């Protein structure tokens, strides 16, 4: 499973890239606003740190506008992935870009029917938002299971399921068990993945017992 980090905070991205776990980055207008920085400057820096797909979201709502914005964004770096919303206009823009070999992430997916349309539009990634579905009392992970199952029926669908709006480590392990291709993870949740109290406790005991032996390995 590929791990993307869901942030526009370059300090966090550098730090997490050093773990060797990062395969890409997703940003959105909210995350860019949170960074307080220029969109193009931030993306340029992110693309230089992480070689995998870096999602940059358009803000126009009509296909020609999305295409014009996307064409500016792809010039930033080879690994830019154009992010478009799951609307008819977004799907038209998706088809335009993927037919020209540009990667597209179709975002704001909340139903299996929408995911089907994105695959038909040739999306590189579909982003179903699990946390936001959970927030309104629906089962976000059931949607992931449905999309993975649906896509598996058709060899010619190349769209990867990119689980978004992740709130906790269980979302990630459940998505991996379902066979989702990618998880885009907030930095705090990515850091949580390694934590287990028994690991900390076990290491403490091993180190103190080792100290008693008076030996050194190197
Ligand atoms: C995905 O690409 C989105 O940026 C993100 O996962 C949305 O998450 P949120 O629901 O926590 O805002």
Q: Where are the domains of the chain?
A: 2-213
Q: Residue 137 has what pLDDT?
A: 98
Whether residue 95 lies in the annotated active site = no
Q: Residue 50 has what pLDDT?
A: 98
Instruction: Spell out the per-residue pLDDT of the chain, length 218, in tens.
Output: 999 999 999 999 999 999 999 999 999 999 999 999 999 999 999 999 999 999 999 999 999 999 999 999 999 999 999 999 999 999 999 999 999 999 999 999 999 999 999 999 999 999 999 999 999 999 999 999 999 999 999 999 999 999 999 999 999 999 999 999 999 999 999 999 999 999 999 999 999 999 999 999 99
Q: Return the structure tokens found at 13.
A: 């991205």
The preferred substitution site among 4, 164, 186 for testing ligand 1, maximizing ligand atoms within 8 Å of CB, is 164
Task: Point out the catalytic residue in the list 83, 95, 120, 201.
Answer: 83
Residues in the chain: 218
Whole-prediction pTM value?
Answer: 0.96
CA of 155 to the centre of ligand 1 (A): 28
Give the SS3 label for residue 150: helix
Q: Residue 155 has what pLDDT?
A: 96
Which atom of ligand 1 is the closest one to the Cα of 26?
A: 2
Q: Residue 207 has what pLDDT?
A: 98
Helices (H) and strands (E) in the chain, counts: 11, 8
Q: Residue 204 has what pLDDT?
A: 98
CA of 100 to the centre of ligand 1 (A): 27
Q: Residue 202 has what pLDDT?
A: 98
CB under 8 Å to 11, separation ≥6 — which residues? none
Which atom of ligand 1 is the closest one to the Cα of 27?
A: 4
The answer to whether 16 touches 5, Cβ cutoff 8 Å, is: yes
Q: Residue 149 has what pLDDT?
A: 98
Q: Which CATH number fits domain 2-213: 3.20.20.70, 3.40.50.720, 3.40.50.300, 1.10.3130.10?
A: 3.20.20.70
Residues framing ligand 1 (Cβ under 6 A): 6, 26, 28, 107, 127, 129, 131-132, 164-165, 184
Q: Residue 81 has what pLDDT?
A: 98
């Amino acid at each position: 499973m590929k791990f993307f980090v869901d942030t526009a905070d370059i300090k966090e991205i550098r730090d997490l890239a050093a773990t060797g776990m990062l395969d890409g980055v997703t940003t959105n207008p909210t995350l860019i606003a949170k960074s307080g920085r220029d969109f193009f400057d931030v993306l340029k820096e992110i693309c230089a740190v992480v070689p995998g797909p870096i999602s940059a979201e358009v803000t126009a709502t009509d296909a020609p506008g999305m295409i014009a914005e996307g064409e500016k964004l792809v010039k930033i770096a080879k690994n830019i992935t154009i992010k478009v919303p799951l609307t008819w206009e977004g799907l038209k823009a998706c088809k335009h870009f993927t037919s020209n070999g540009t990667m597209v992430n179709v975002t704001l997916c909340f139903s299996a029917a929408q995911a089907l349309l994105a695959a038909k539009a040739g999306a590189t990634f579909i982003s179903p938002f699990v946390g936001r579905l959970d927030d309104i009392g629906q089962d976000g992970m059931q949607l992931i299971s449905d999309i993975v199952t649906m896509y598996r029926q058709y060899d010619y669908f190349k769209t990867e399921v990119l689980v978004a709006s992740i709130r906790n480590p269980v979302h990630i392990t459940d998505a991996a068990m379902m066979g989702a291709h990618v998880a885009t993870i907030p930095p705090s949740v990515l850091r949580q993945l390694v934590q287990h109290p028994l690991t900390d406790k076990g290491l403490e005991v091993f180190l103190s017992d080792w100290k008693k032996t008076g030996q050194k390995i190197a």
